[in-house]
Amino acid sequence: MNGTICYLRAGRRLRASGEFIERSAGMTKVKPHRPGWGAVWITEAEIEAGKEKAPYKPRERRDGGPTTAIKPSKPKPPPAPRWQQLVDRVRIYEIDHSPKGWPAVEMSFLTALADELERTQQRLANFLALTG
């Protein structure tokens, strides 16, 4: 027995395959084709079960007509620009707190807000230099 072996592990529904490694005491050692998986020991019954494959049966509609292709789903809209995400988050703090109060914010948020302001200022300065 050499080469590729198909098998169906006990309790599983999907067949698997792998490369034959060795045979010992009625068990067969196989290296599955799935990346990162180690070798497994399988029985003769699992090898026999893996040889049988259910016949292909296309789907049928309830009314007996032919099946149609699945309509492609709409693509996800692109995420809002980073500055808009930051502004939305600041507006949430504005709603929950009084103007003189200071909400608890994370330093990473304040750093991201400052970085975005600096990037925007640099882009604006470059734009004004080109038009001026």
Q: What is the pLDDT of residues 28-71, one digit of tens each?
A: 999 988 888 888 898 888 888 887 666 667 667 777 666 666 77
Rounded to an integer, the average pLDDT of 11-17 is 82
Rounded to an integer, the average pLDDT of 71-95 is 84
**pLDDT surpasses 70 at 132:** no
**So what's the pLDDT on residue 55?**
64
**So what's the pLDDT on residue 77?**
92
**So what's the pLDDT on residue 45?**
86
Give the burial class of 113: count Cβ atoms within 10 A of its Cβ; 0-12 exposed, 13-18 middle, 19 or more buried: middle
Rounded to an integer, the average pLDDT of 81-110 is 76
Q: Quick check: pTM over 0.75?
A: no
Q: Where are the domains of the chain?
A: 4-51, 82-131
